[in-house]
Structure 1
Amino acid sequence: MLDKTYDPKEIEARRYPEWENAGAFRAHPDSPKQPYCIVIPPPNVTGSLHMGHALDNTLQDVLIRWRRMKGDDVLWQPGTDHAGIATQMVVVRNLEQEGIGLAVQGAATNDANKKLLNREEFLAKVWEWKAYSGGTITGQLRRLGASCDWSRERFTMDEGLSKAVLKVFVELYKQGLIYKDLRLVNWDPKMLTAISDLEVESREVKGHLWYFKYPIEGSPDEFIVVATTRPETMLGDTGIAVHPDDPKWKHLIGKHAVLPLVGRRIAIVGDEYSDPEKGSGAVKITPAHDFNDFEVGRRHNLEAINIFDRFARVNGNAPEKYRGLDRFEARKKIVVEMEELGLVEKIEPHTHAVPYGDRGGVPVEPYLTEQWYADAKKLAEAPLAAARDGRVKFVPERGREDFFRWMENIEPWCVSRQLWWGHQIPAWYGPDKKVFVALSEEEAQAEARAHYGKDVALERDPDVLDTWFSSALWPFSTLGWPDQTAELAKYYPTSTLVTGWDILFFWVARMMMMGMHFMKDVPFRTVYLHGLVTDEKGQKMSKSKGNVIDPLELIDKYGADALRFTMTSLAASQAGRLRLSPARVEGARNFATKLWNATRFAEMNGAALPQGFDPVTAKLTVNKWMLGELARANQAIDKALTDFRLNEAATALYEFVWGVVCDWYVELTKPIVQGADGPEKDETRAVTAFVLRETVKLMHPVMPFITEELWDKLGHRAEHGPLIGQPWPAPPTVDAMADAEMGWLVKLISDIRSARAELNVPAGAKLKLLVIGGNATTAARIETHRAAIERLARIEGVEAADSAPKASLQIVVGEATYALPVGDVIDLKAESARLQKEIKKLADEVGKIDAKLANAAFVARAPEEVVEEQRERRAQAEQTGARLSAALERLGV
């Protein structure tokens, strides 16, 4: 017997270990079944579950559980990422609390007694931390219900994956696809490493725009004015760019200016990068400290002078008086000295975007440094071809166009990082800095001996590889490559990749590069891209805004099933913002409770499935209709999952369970199951039990915990085993005649209820129902279902009539008009006036919103979530207006 109260916390804590201990999640590479494989986007080993994880992993688990029920041999490959910079930062912070630092050359320390760790000592501490707390997120994924094959869990720094990383690096180097180059990178002066674009966040900062006057060579009284937000970088200026058509400055093209404070002669060049409408129209060019300037410098052969060290302190390439100053101290000193020289034309307040390192939390410095690069343009050729010919499908299709846009303009990929935690680059340098790239130091020594003709001391490159390098191998390295394993043979290419748009380029594209280069096939057949989970206002969640929603708190309060259902229903926006509010999760918990209570009601009223019950034997119209509705729900859910429209699957479940089973079937059959014994009662109990059994199967991929519990408590587990291992149900037969008859009844009662609600008819008022123009079929149906109509639509008598009385509201269903005399219950004229007033108010609101949305300036300047909110308000107002207009028409006043 089901407990009176649905308790998700107790159920979920009990059910998950049962599944895992029984091996319910395990893949079977030796099985003849068709494979279906998803590799989990590996969460950072430092991480804990956030809403992005909750969405991403829920969608994966829905697909995995569904394909398992469809009969596939399913592998959901789990694992975690070593997260180089994030993990190093966490461990460094922990060590600092113990008074321990890192022996980093050039770093300042104010405590001579502070213990400093070398690289080997620090890495030992990281592995110690990983063993202690590195598995937090995998435990949290279990709470979400993620049915990964945990027996195959991998880690990007485990022995097998490390072997794969070394092999890939060495082979790409020997093929000329990895090389060293001097280029600009995003440099984090706090973390002391190059970082990827994904690790850079743009922040709006209130600063200044300084207008500096640079003297023209040979004309000491003539100046060119440049505007800059970063005065400190002027020490590295090697040119000034003006637009070739700018009447103000074009006469200076080809001449030289003299760089103040430094005295360097710098060229004035014509380049379309300079915008005459911005600042002064002239742009100082510092190729070593600005990405755009770097490109201008290359076009005009300007020297790149690096004036900062890795701590963003002024280095020896600048005049002596600035050396050793922090970049912002240098800024203050430069501005003061330029003012003293009379070379500051003006200073304006200026709000602009400044790139910050998301880990170090300080402004990123574009920095000219030698790094290792992969030839991304060459590696992108095969993925581009696969996307064009359809070997990889993108859902939604727009993802394909975004993929092309980036891949066709791809830049070299900086794969090195100046960290200690990560895969150390397998490169060793000889005495003359010649590099030897090999799988081991022994192999490098052998190559060096052959080159030099003797044994020499080799020094290993201290850098490690970008975390994205190892995760780019994830679809095949996790399956055992470079060994030729049974898993690799069966599950590669994987079936589906589920991920967010934000890593389409950082991860998806790179997996395609590496998979196609080393496996000669795509790493996955379908890329399913989902949007970003935001708060209910459409704002990105952030700690600074205080709008972060913790999924674990929601699970504690409402249950994992409720959160999973909410996440699945939110997936409608595959590209945009998925607005989450705790109220939606509460609504999903209420949905689970509704199913629980309906099942308990059925159980209390004797619903049970007779041995060998065949739904085809059902004779009652209401039961045949219910079986048809079950068939339709089955087909709709299955198709939605096939088409990656997971939100439509959730909607179909909700409408079927709440709208059809609970609101209609249970209510329509109450008089039967609570009435006298007989064949109708027996049949209805059996059909109810059958429908509930099939319903929990349909719901299982989305809400696995409650469905497994209901399956067990209804006795099916004892006979058939756990629900997680059951096949997807075959849809029953649809009876067209029962469908038409019950469809008519449901529409009639629904329309009467809606009309009463819209016209404020008191809930307790019993109205007469007059039928005008009904044919023989309608008359027969009314006779059959009279009791249900009277009970469920609050009607007191149903009669045929020639016409509708004046004071009545009218609805049309099929060929007949139905009139409800309401003159004694409501004031028709007052109600008509109210409706007209509401309709006008809504029309005015639509007009105001249309005016806003037609204003190009508003759409361009307003945050995306504000524009989207206006569109939603308009749609809602229009929908409500149409509904009230229909109600007004029903009045016939």
Structure 2
Amino acid sequence: MKELEKKYSHLDVEKDKYQMWLDQDLFKAEMDDKKPAYSIVIPPPNVTGKLHLGHAWDGSLQDLLIRFKKLNGFDTVWIPGMDHAGIATQAKVEERLREQNISRYDLGRENFIEKVWEWKEEYALTIRSQWAKLGLSLDYSKEKFTYSEELNKIVNHVFVNMYEKGLIYKGKRIINWDPKQKTALSNIEVIYKETQGGMYHFKYILSDNPNEFLQVATTRPETMFGDVCLVVNPNDERYTKYVGKTVINPSNQALMPVIADEYVEIDFGTGVMKCTPAHDINDFELGLKHNLEQINVMNDDATMNEKALEFNGLDRFEARKKLIEKLTNQGTFIKKEEITHQVGYSERSNAIVEPFISDQWFVKMDTLAKQVLDLQNSKDAINFFPNRFNETLNKWMENSHDWTISRQLWWGHQIPAWYNNETKEVYVGTNPPKDEQNWTRDQDVLDTWFSSAFWPFATMDWNPESQSEMMKRYFPVSTMVTGYDIIFFWVARMVFQSLEFTDSKPFKDVLIHGLIRDSEGRKMSKSLGNGVDPMDVIETYGADSLRYFLLTNSSPGQDLRYSEEKLTSTWNFINKIWNASRFVMMNIEKIPTNQEFDAVFDTVSGEKNQIDLWILNKLSETQKQVKEAIDKYEFTIAGKALYNFIWDDYCSWYIELAKAQVGENSLLNDKEKEFSKLTLGFVLKNILIMLHPFMPFVTEEIYQSFDLESSILKERWLEKDYSAKVEVIKPIFDIISALREFRASQNIKNSISLNAHLNLSKSAFKTVLESSINYIQMFIEKMVNCNLNIDQINESEFTSLPVNDYFLDIPNKDFFDKEKVLIETKEKIEELSKEIERSEKMLSNENFLKRAASDKVEEEKRKYEDYKKQYEILKEKLNELN
């Protein structure tokens, strides 16, 4: 066998392993129908930059599952891919161009898209190199990109199909608008922040009585030009008399009706609400209900349009200031209240998002949402881990709104719709109209979430005409791993699109994880400067340490706190495994295959190999625990079982006990010694197999020294149960533990040999101990330097240690140095005498008693009493010694 380096170095260990796995095609799908299939598709990271710690966590979870299933005999595939991330990537490229004083309009659409492709290729290489650093077992031969030609065909087919079914339509509705990027946004691209603002109060004067007005408050006065009515609750007795009357809009003097609707809360604010259907989502819905006019008062860059009269062309916030000045002079402005409220910002441009009525493409959600709800109420429901997120999905589907899918961008899937230049007729198709020169194509692109909703089946080479081999073999996807923050934005959409186009759920299980927070529990962000680059962690601690930390420190669905201390502890754990492996390999000739080991195992009686049978028993128990936990996605439980078995059972106990088994004074014959050596190596090999999904690099490195398979990934999870009856092991552990504790409490050096006599008068272990005394003594002598006797003690002075239902009687002369104890006792009595004298002086000092704090005086009195008690006890001990 190859000898391991003396010191564990994660940098050396993790070097070149990934390329070795790729060279052996270990990550490629086998398409072997003799094996059960297991598939995962990666949540595609955006090609906007480097992977963050959340990606490392998500990837480690998936890699654990793939390696675990492969070791358990599954035909596995993990399909990689990346997301073109429309608005995010376009924003990044535009930012780079601005540094060169270039805008996308200078380049034009085609040339700009070429620049974005250059960006994509650059960051795709970075992402792949990071996947390699993490050790992700991805089948690169099947890698996909959400903006590839292949995906574009699927996108166009799906769009056209849904349009023809009436599931996609174009219309004017309120959407989230980024006035800087000049595009619609999805809800997930809007970040809400606590922002200082104002609540502005105005008079809306009744048209038939200039002395009477209704008071209305708003945080966005600039939208008043789009007001179409005031709304009050029909049950609000203060305002029922005004319903049906008209008021004057203070911003533009337009007459507006007062209407009644129960939407308005009587106890909120003044109880009177202004309705602006073109600039507020709730007002928009109210407008549809009451057939109200939709007046848009802004341009797409959030400057005011002609509806704002003299403020036409001004920025919305500048117009706000000017309008308040005007209405103050006019006498219709009442007051401003300083408030802190939640304001939506564009995730990419940081512009304040404007609710904006716009002509957009939408997905009609009612029938699609019903499909999801029906699935989750059926026997074929997708399994969520933890299960509570199934309810989250259902609630979102029960309250879903039509989905805005068009984006005013250049980077992305251009909508397959054309408008006739003369008739304005709309044509939607996978191919352009025959007389294309008479048509103009829609310039908008589709929301990135639209194309990523097909990801589970698009990655399986799906086409609408015939079922691909990949679809037959690996679909539905076995497990989807993702965060709880995108259950609605991605998971739900994958479900209804898969049901719609494949007549199948997209995946069987969904494993939900949380967010990674810093050590103080805060969300990691650029603004806080508390983000952690996973590549820096790998440089310092290694990928194995990072992976094991991420995998074993959070339950499904829960957030995880980053901890340098735990990373250090994990590195130490790996170092422990490394050193244990070095010891084993230096003391045995070979690591057996399963067949070689079983051939010897079946010939061993076990009478003198109880320690070996015990560790094999523990190995079987641990493998069952770990397998069961991983199958339930309880990786923290699996990690704990592994840690306890490796650190406590194997390293702390078995290796030390095995030294006695194979050492010079062993009672074992050559055949039994050979079995012990084989067991040392066999258990180590299976520890590495169990650990491999958590720590792929170091387990491969150690395994490579064994001269077995070309990779540990070609091994198999142990299926044989080595459970056995091992009666003698408990007394051995109990006696060693009792003697270790006794030595520690009495400060007895390990070099001092002890004699212990077993007092077994009424013990249930009497037969076992008496029949195996020589075997047990072999370990007691080696590990705690004690000679164990079965005969009764003859000494008059001895100490009895209780062990279970029997005692260890140890002669005092073995460890008790009377002269030394006399000297130490006298010295302690002298120290206490001085302390008692000092304390008496303080407590008899009137100045101390008057000036010192009462708690300090009480503390001194307590000390004085303690000193006296200790003094009396030691005096008695001294008399006994004399």
What band does the TM-score fall into relative to the shorter chain? 0.7 to 0.9
Counterpart for residue 424 of structure 1: 414
Q: CA 1:764–1:500 in structure 2 vs 1: closer, same or farther (change >3 Å)?
A: farther
Structure 1: runs of 5 or more not aligned = 104-115, 447-454, 831-893
Q: CA 1:43–1:231 in structure 2 vs 1: closer, same or farther (change >3 Å)?
A: same
Instruction: Please give the TM-score of this superposition, normalised by the length of structure 2.
Output: 0.84
> Would the aligned equivalents of 2:780 and 2:788 in 1 still touch at CA under 8 Å?
no
> Would the aligned equivalents of 2:457 and 2:475 in 1 still touch at CA under 8 Å?
yes
Deviation at 1:797, TM superposition (A): 7.7
Tell me how many residue pairs correspond in the alignment: 794
Q: Which whole-Å CA distance do the structure 2 matches of 1:206 and 1:169 have between them?
A: 42
Q: Which whole-Å CA distance do the structure 1 matches of 2:269 and 2:785 have between them?
A: 73
Q: CA 1:229–1:596 in structure 2 vs 1: closer, same or farther (change >3 Å)?
A: same
Q: Map 1:465-614 to 2 at 5 A.
A: 465-482=446-463, 484-572=467-555, 574-606=556-588, 608-609=590-591, 612-614=596-598
Q: Which whole-Å CA distance do the structure 1 matches of 2:250 and 2:799 have between them?
A: 89
Counterpart for residue 94 of structure 1: 96
Stretch deviating more after TM superposition (58-67 or 726-735): 726-735
Counterpart for residue 777 of structure 1: 765
Q: CA 1:613–1:29 in structure 2 vs 1: closer, same or farther (change >3 Å)?
A: closer
Q: CA 1:723–1:600 in structure 2 vs 1: closer, same or farther (change >3 Å)?
A: same
Counterpart for residue 642 of structure 1: 631
Stretch deviating more after TM superposition (39-48 or 762-771): 762-771
Q: Map 1:339-488 to 2 at 5 A.
A: 339-391=328-380, 392-430=382-420, 431-441=422-432, 444-445=433-434, 457-482=438-463, 484-488=467-471
Counterpart for residue 197 of structure 1: 187
> Would the aligned equivalents of 2:8 and 2:575 in 1 still touch at CA under 8 Å?
yes
Q: Which whole-Å CA distance do the structure 1 matches of 2:524 and 2:741 have between them?
A: 38
Matched, 1:268 2:258: yes
> Would the aligned equivalents of 2:591 and 2:706 in 1 still touch at CA under 8 Å?
no
Q: CA 1:191–1:796 in structure 2 vs 1: closer, same or farther (change >3 Å)?
A: farther
Q: Which whole-Å CA distance do the structure 2 matches of 1:415 and 1:429 have between them?
A: 18
Q: Deviations over 1:390-425 (max 9, x none)?
A: 422111111111111111221111111110000000
Counterpart for residue 217 of structure 2: 227
Q: Deviations over 1:657-696 (max 9, x none)?
A: 1121111111222233443575343322111011111111
Stretch deviating more after TM superposition (698-707 or 720-729): 720-729
Correspondence for 2:664 among 670, 675, 678: 675
Q: Deviations over 1:304-348 (max 9, x none)?
A: 2111111011112222x1111111111111222222233333322
Q: Deviations over 1:222-273 (max 9, x none)?
A: 2222222222222222222333444444443333321102112223333343
Counterpart for residue 860 of structure 1: none
Q: Deviations over 1:613-641 (max 9, x none)?
A: 32344521110000000001111111111
Q: CA 1:241–1:563 in structure 2 vs 1: closer, same or farther (change >3 Å)?
A: same
> Would the aligned equivalents of 2:592 and 2:681 in 1 still touch at CA under 8 Å?
no
Q: CA 1:768–1:493 in structure 2 vs 1: closer, same or farther (change >3 Å)?
A: same
Q: CA 1:67–1:346 in structure 2 vs 1: closer, same or farther (change >3 Å)?
A: same
Deviation at 1:714, TM superposition (A): 2.2
Deviation at 1:779, TM superposition (A): 7.3
Deviation at 1:289, TM superposition (A): 1.3
Q: Deviations over 1:130-186 (max 9, x none)?
A: 233333112201110100101111111112111111111111111111110111111
Q: Which whole-Å CA distance do the structure 2 matches of 1:356 and 1:575 have between them?
A: 27
Deviation at 1:276, TM superposition (A): 3.8
Instruction: Please give the TM-score of this superposition, normalised by the length of structure 1.
Output: 0.83
Q: Which whole-Å CA distance do the structure 1 matches of 2:230 and 2:799 have between them?
A: 82
> Would the aligned equivalents of 1:212 and 1:227 in 2 still touch at CA under 8 Å?
yes
Secondary structure in 1 matching 2:335: strand
User: One-letter code of the match for 1:145?
Assistant: G
Secondary structure in 1 matching 2:307: coil
Matched, 1:160 2:157: no
RMSD: 3.1
Q: CA 1:673–1:428 in structure 2 vs 1: closer, same or farther (change >3 Å)?
A: same
Secondary structure in 2 matching 1:47: coil
Secondary structure in 2 matching 1:317: helix
Q: CA 1:492–1:787 in structure 2 vs 1: closer, same or farther (change >3 Å)?
A: same
Q: Percent of aligned positions with the same letter in both sequences?
A: 40
Q: CA 1:225–1:714 in structure 2 vs 1: closer, same or farther (change >3 Å)?
A: same
Q: CA 1:158–1:205 in structure 2 vs 1: closer, same or farther (change >3 Å)?
A: same
Counterpart for residue 623 of structure 1: 612
Q: Map 1:67-146 to 2 at 5 A.
A: 67-103=69-105, 116-146=106-136
Q: Which whole-Å CA distance do the structure 2 matches of 1:203 and 1:796 have between them?
A: 72
Stretch deviating more after TM superposition (386-395 or 628-637): 386-395
> Would the aligned equivalents of 2:780 and 2:787 in 1 still touch at CA under 8 Å?
no
Q: Which whole-Å CA distance do the structure 2 matches of 1:756 and 1:271 have between them?
A: 83
Q: Which whole-Å CA distance do the structure 1 matches of 2:158 and 2:801 have between them?
A: 74
Q: Which whole-Å CA distance do the structure 2 matches of 1:136 and 1:66 have between them?
A: 27
Secondary structure in 2 matching 1:356: strand
Q: Which whole-Å CA distance do the structure 2 matches of 1:768 and 1:217 have between them?
A: 109
Matched, 1:690 2:682: yes
Deviation at 1:301, TM superposition (A): 3.0
Q: Which whole-Å CA distance do the structure 2 matches of 1:569 and 1:317 have between them?
A: 59
Q: CA 1:277–1:796 in structure 2 vs 1: closer, same or farther (change >3 Å)?
A: farther
> Would the aligned equivalents of 2:660 and 2:778 in 1 still touch at CA under 8 Å?
no
> Would the aligned equivalents of 1:562 and 1:589 in 2 still touch at CA under 8 Å?
yes
Counterpart for residue 729 of structure 1: 718
Deviation at 1:371, TM superposition (A): 0.6
Secondary structure in 1 matching 2:694: coil
Deviation at 1:560, TM superposition (A): 0.7
Q: CA 1:692–1:466 in structure 2 vs 1: closer, same or farther (change >3 Å)?
A: same
> Would the aligned equivalents of 2:223 and 2:276 in 1 still touch at CA under 8 Å?
yes
Deviation at 1:34, TM superposition (A): 2.3
Q: CA 1:314–1:514 in structure 2 vs 1: closer, same or farther (change >3 Å)?
A: same
Q: Map 1:819-834 to 2 at 5 A.
A: none
User: One-letter code of the match for 2:355?
Assistant: P
Matched, 1:49 2:40: no
Secondary structure in 2 matching 1:135: helix
Q: CA 1:475–1:130 in structure 2 vs 1: closer, same or farther (change >3 Å)?
A: same
Secondary structure in 1 matching 2:337: strand
* Structure with the greater alpha carbon radius of gyration: 2
> Would the aligned equivalents of 1:771 and 1:801 in 2 still touch at CA under 8 Å?
yes
Secondary structure in 2 matching 1:547: coil
> Would the aligned equivalents of 1:16 and 1:145 in 2 still touch at CA under 8 Å?
yes
Structure 2: runs of 5 or more not aligned = 829-882
> Would the aligned equivalents of 1:76 and 1:149 in 2 still touch at CA under 8 Å?
yes
> Would the aligned equivalents of 1:605 and 1:674 in 2 still touch at CA under 8 Å?
no
Q: Which whole-Å CA distance do the structure 1 matches of 2:290 and 2:743 have between them?
A: 77
Secondary structure in 2 matching 1:613: helix
Q: Which whole-Å CA distance do the structure 1 matches of 2:785 and 2:743 have between them?
A: 10
Secondary structure in 1 matching 2:38: strand
Q: CA 1:145–1:247 in structure 2 vs 1: closer, same or farther (change >3 Å)?
A: same
User: One-letter code of the match for 1:503?
Assistant: I
Matched, 1:61 2:63: yes
Q: Which whole-Å CA distance do the structure 2 matches of 1:428 and 1:135 have between them?
A: 36
Q: Which whole-Å CA distance do the structure 2 matches of 1:811 and 1:240 have between them?
A: 86
User: One-letter code of the match for 2:328?
Assistant: E
